Every structure is written in structure tokens, then in C-alpha cells.
């Protein structure tokens, strides 16, 4: 068995891993093509011929191969037949009584067919961690093969396992995995998500897995760098969840003594973070540019809003690209009070630009962490969107998400029975903590001098590897 301790942070957006020999802890380089090589984008691209592409390359493959390509859906005969019960034509004779209808059933053979994207080169999966909690989402069919959610997650974890084994120079069977405080506010869904992540870790080759709360790991990561008696809070806001913990560490001691003498006073968390914020931007700034407020026809009917939910769920946007929907949109465009916007919607659906829209919104959000205004520009064929977004307006758009995060922070304080003034330092980590409005929220509660920014993408993995020694 390996003498090294391993920590794996499977993130909604980015994953990272660290190893520790007990004295030293180092974060592994998981994706050389990524702008932050120590973090691996949690993206999976499955190609038609079964190729699995992970990380930054997955996004590249999707854009090169899938985007700009006309989506063609066809009714495909699956070359199978099933016996189906069909209600028979009711016996209209005098003795017929409706109550007997259920009895009068016959079976008939039905050919099985499905609407499929016949020429799709591959599928991209993003934010798989957020799907773990949905009982109903067991898996998905990709080019005729069904993959369970655990198998999809395991494909990403396998890539991490490979890097871990290579860096360790031997197979590492045991790892401490991070988990959010709450995958879901529903305890049943939370348990389902953890169980699935454990199965996925097992499938990827980690034979023994121990779970540790992600914010607690980030707290340990900092605490072992000092020898002071401290009451610490961690606020870790990533792509999928906002996680909070309050912990105490006694004075002095080496890392081992400090971890052994620590106490978790309170934790809290909500599944509201960066992905939710991106959706707010798309809804607020981009939906109207695709005609969400438009009306059509002589009766001035509003455009059905389900079309827009499909834009948010871009991974399934291709399903709208049926001849029927596209023809209907052409007709709507002709009688619309916003024909350009409806034309843009048609183009978005037909050419599969949903992912690009999501990426643009996310990129604009990130830019607003360093500049006070930016443009969301989406220029593809007849889609000509140039939407200005100012930091102040952005803060306003995400106000209720910030309120939800603050509720979680207050919940952690209450669970720990502390007041804001009792906390020595508030450690921040996770990409969403870079948003100025999030920082301002924390500054106004705790004061700027008590905020300590830890490494955005690797502090959880480092803490997990440190904790792995004692877990």
C-alpha cells in the first residue's frame, strides 16, 4: 500500500488532487492545457466512436466538432419491437358499459423508434456533480449505449486516478474525497449523491474512500500553516455549492496535534453558486435578445417560456431542433413584433450555440471581477448580440443568490453559536468568492482585515491530502 496520502476534490466546475508524505503536501498538475494546470475542468466529451475526452480538451472538442453544425433530428427505427397494451375499440353494442373498458385490452407489436440526433459527433457533459443528487437522473443514453451517472463521473475520476498513480509512482488505493456540506437541501437526495460519488470513486480505482467536508478541508489547509489558537470560518463558493464551516484550533503543536485538537463548531451549505449566477445573467441579459418578451400572431400571443428553459439546459438544447419546432419558429418570426430576436432564437437552436451562450455569460461574469463593465458579445451568423453589463447591475441581478449564500453563512454561525465578532479570520476559497459583490458581502459582515483569500482552486485538495493522514 502506498505511503502517500491522497486528497481528491471532485468539483462541479474544476477538480484537483493533492498528495502528502506526512511532511510535505503538493498539488498535482492535472491538465497541462488548462489556464490553471493544477485544476482539471470537470468536463467530459464522449464521441460517437466511444472516445472519452476529459478536461479543457473536452470543451475544445465540443466546440470544434459540434458547434456551428446544423443539428438534424430524425425519427430512427431502433430495430426492435415490443408488445404494448392498447385499449381496444370499445364494444358499442347494447351491453357495453364504460366501466368494463379496462378489461377490454389487447396487445399488439409496436416498432420502437426514437427522435435522435443522427449526425452528432459527440456529447459534452458539464457540472455532473450537480446531477448526482437527482434520483430520477440515473444516467443517459449516448449513441445507443446507456451510461449511468456513476460511470460518467468515474470517467473523470479515472483521469485523476491516473495522474495520482503516476505522481506517486505506484497505485494509490485510498483517498480522502471532498464533499459539499449539502449536495442538496433534501437529506435523501444528499445521501443518494454521496453514495453515487463513492461508487464512481470505486469504479475509477480508489478502493477505499473517506469523505470529508470541502470547507473543513480548506480550514485545515490554512490552520496547519500557523500555531495560533484560532476560531476560523471558511466560505467556499464554487460552481455548484456554497459551503461554510466554523472551526477552532488550539495553540501550538505540529500539524498532527493541531488537526487532532480541532473542533468543528458548525457547518452549512446550499446548492447555489457560480452555475446559478451564470443562469441569472443569461436569463436577465440574453433571454430578451432571443425574444423572451416578444409576442406573435394576430392574438399577440406570448412566446412559450419552455423554449428558454432549454437554452439554460444547453446540453439538451439539440432536442428542440426538430423540423416541427424550426418551421413553427419561421412562422412565428413572420408575425412577431421582434422578428430579429426570433430569427436569433431559430439560429441558436438550429446551429447548437447554447454552450457558446453559456460560456460567454460565464466569461463576462469573470471579467467583472476585475473590470467594472464589460460586453457580452455573441456574434454568430444572424445572432448579433452586444449587451453591456456593468458590475453594479450584475450585483443587482444576483442579489437573491447572495441572500441565499448569506443565509447559509448565518446558519453556520448559529450552528456554531458564534457572533461575527467571535471569528478571528474568514478564509475564502472557490471561484465565486472572487466576485466583488460576494467579497463586499463578507467585508461588511466581518471587516476587510479579517478576510483571508486562500488559493481559489487548490486549497480544498491540499486540505484533503493533509486530512488524509489522520482520517
Ligand X SMILES: Nc1ncnc2c1ncn2[C@@H]1O[C@H](COP(=O)(O)OP(=O)(O)OP(=O)(O)O)[C@@H](O)[C@H]1O
172 binds, among ligand X, Mg ion, none (CB under 5 to 8 A by kind): none
Cβ proximity to ligand X, 61 vs 364, nearer residue = 364
According to CB under 6 A, which one of 133, 161, 365, 454 is a site residue for ligand X? 365
Q: Using the rule CB under 6 A, is 274 a contact of ligand X? A: yes
Q: Using the rule CB under 6 A, is 369 a contact of ligand X? A: yes
According to CB under 6 A, which one of 6, 8, 12, 441 is a site residue for ligand X? 12
Q: Which of 34, 38, 35, 33 is nearest to 15 (CA)?
A: 38
Least distance CB 257 / ligand X (angstroms): 29
**Piece of the chain touching ligand X by CB under 6 A; list 148-156, 235-243, 298-306, 326-334:** 235-243
**Piece of the chain touching ligand X by CB under 6 A; list 82-90, 183-191, 374-382, 432-440:** 432-440
The three cell numbers locating residue 203: 469504479
Least distance CB 240 / Mg ion (angstroms): 8
Q: Which of 248, 279, 236 is nearest to 427 (CA)?
A: 236
Least distance CB 301 / ligand X (angstroms): 36
Question: What phi and psi values does residue 196 have, to the nearest 5 degrees?
Answer: -65, -40
Residues 429-448 that bind Mg ion (CB under 5 A): none
Number of residues that bind Mg ion (CB under 5 A): 2
Site string for Mg ion, 212-241 (x = CB under 5 A): --------------------------x---
**Piece of the chain touching ligand X by CB under 6 A; list 9-17, 62-70, 283-291, 328-336:** 9-17
Least distance CB 460 / Mg ion (angstroms): 5
Q: Using the rule CB under 6 A, is 434 a contact of ligand X? A: yes
Q: Using the rule CB under 6 A, is 31 a contact of ligand X? A: no
Residues 306-335 that bind ligand X (CB under 6 A): none
435 binds, among ligand X, Mg ion, none (CB under 5 to 8 A by kind): ligand X
Residues 116-145 that bind ligand X (CB under 6 A): 129
Alpha carbons 422 and 44: distance in angstroms, whole number: 43
Least distance CB 281 / ligand X (angstroms): 11
271 binds, among Mg ion, ligand X, none (CB under 5 to 8 A by kind): none
CB atoms within 10 A of CB 82: 11
Alpha carbons 270 and 272: distance in angstroms, whole number: 5
According to CB under 6 A, which one of 432, 458, 459, 462 is a site residue for ligand X? 432
Number of residues that bind ligand X (CB under 6 A): 23
Residues 253-282 that bind Mg ion (CB under 5 A): none
According to CB under 6 A, which one of 221, 362, 387, 401 is a site residue for ligand X? 362
Residues that bind ligand X (CB under 6 A): 11-14, 129, 214, 238-241, 273-275, 362, 365-366, 369, 430-432, 434-435, 457
Residues that bind Mg ion (CB under 5 A): 11, 238
Amino acid at each position: 500500500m502506498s505511503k502517500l496520502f491522497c486528497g481528491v476534490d471532485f468539483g462541479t466546475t474544476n477538480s484537483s488532487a493533492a498528495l502528502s508524505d506526512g511532511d510535505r503536501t503538493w498539488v498535482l498538475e492535472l491538465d497541462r492545457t488548462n489556464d490553471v494546470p493544477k485544476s482539471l475542468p470537470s468536463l467530459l466529451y464522449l464521441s460517437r466512436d466511444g472516445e472519452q475526452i476529459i478536461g479543457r480538451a473536452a470543451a475544445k472538442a465540443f466546440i470544434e466538432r459540434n458547434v456551428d453544425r446544423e443539428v438534424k433530428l430524425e425519427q430512427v427505427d431502433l430495430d426492435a419491437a415490443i408488445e404494448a397494451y392498447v385499449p381496444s375499440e370499445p364494444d358499442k353494442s347494447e351491453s357495453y358499459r364504460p366501466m368494463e373498458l379496462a378489461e377490454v385490452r389487447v396487445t399488439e407489436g409496436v416498432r420502437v423508434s426514437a427522435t435522435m440526433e443522427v449526425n452528432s459527433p459527440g456529447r459534452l457533459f458539464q457540472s455532473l456533480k450537480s446531477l448526482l443528487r437527482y434520483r430520477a437522473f440515473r444516467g443517459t443514453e449516448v449513441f445507443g449505449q446507456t451510461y449511468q451517472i456513476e460511470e460518467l463521473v468515474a470517467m473523470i475520476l479515472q483521469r485523476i486516478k491516473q495522474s495520482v498513480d503516476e505522481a506517486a509512482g505506484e497505485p494509490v488505493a485510498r483517498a480522502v474525497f471532498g464533499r459539499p456540506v449539502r449536495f442538496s437541501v433534501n437529506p435523501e437526495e444528499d445521501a443518494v449523491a454521496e453514495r453515487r460519488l463513492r461508487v464512481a470513486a470505486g469504479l475509477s480505482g480508489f478502493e477505499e474512500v473517506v469523505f470529508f467536508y470541502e470547507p473543513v478541508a480548506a480550514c485545515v489547509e490554512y490552520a496547519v500553516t500557523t500555531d495560533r489558537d484560532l476560531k476560523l470560518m471558511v466560505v467556499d463558493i464554487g460552481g455548484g455549492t456554497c459551503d461554510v464551516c466554523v472551526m477552532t484550533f488550539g495553540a501550538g503543536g505540529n500539524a498532527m496535534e493541531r488537526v487532532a485538537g480541532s473542533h468543528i463548531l458548525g457547518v452549512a451549505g446550499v446548492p447555489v453558486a457560480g452555475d446559478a449566477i451564470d443562469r441569472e445573467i443569461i436569463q436577465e441579459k440574453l433571454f430578451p435578445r432571443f425574444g423572451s418578451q416578444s409576442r406573435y400572431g394576430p392574438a399577440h400571443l406570448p412566446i412559450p417560456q419552455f423554449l428558454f428553459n432549454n437554452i439554460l439546459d444547453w446540453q439538451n438544447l439539440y432536442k428542440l431542433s426538430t423540423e416541427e419546432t424550426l418551421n413553427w419558429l419561421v412562422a412565428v418570426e413572420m408575425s412577431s413584433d421582434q422578428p430579429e430576436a426570433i430569427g436569433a432564437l431559430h439560429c441558436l437552436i438550429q446551429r447548437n450555440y447554447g454552450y457558446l451562450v453559456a460560456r460567454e455569460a460565464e466569461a463576462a461574469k469573470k471579467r467583472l471581477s476585475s473590470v467594472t463593465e464589460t460586453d457580452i458579445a455573441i456574434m454568430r451568423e444572424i445572432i448579433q448580440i452586444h449587451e453591456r453589463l456593468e458590475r453594479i447591475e450584475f450585483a443587482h441581478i444576483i442579489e437573491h443568490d447572495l441572500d441565499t449564500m448569506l443565509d447559509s453563512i448565518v446558519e453556520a454561525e448559529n450552528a456554531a453559536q458564534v457572533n461575527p465578532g467571535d471569528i478571528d479570520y474568514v478564509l475564502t476559497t472557490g471561484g465565486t468568492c472572487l466576485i466583488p459583490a460576494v467579497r463586499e458581502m463578507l467585508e461588511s459582515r466581518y471587516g476587510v482585515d479579517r478576510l483571508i483569500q486562500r488559493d481559489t482552486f487548490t486549497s480544498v485538495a491540499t486540505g484533503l491530502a493533509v486530512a488524509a493522514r489522520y482520517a
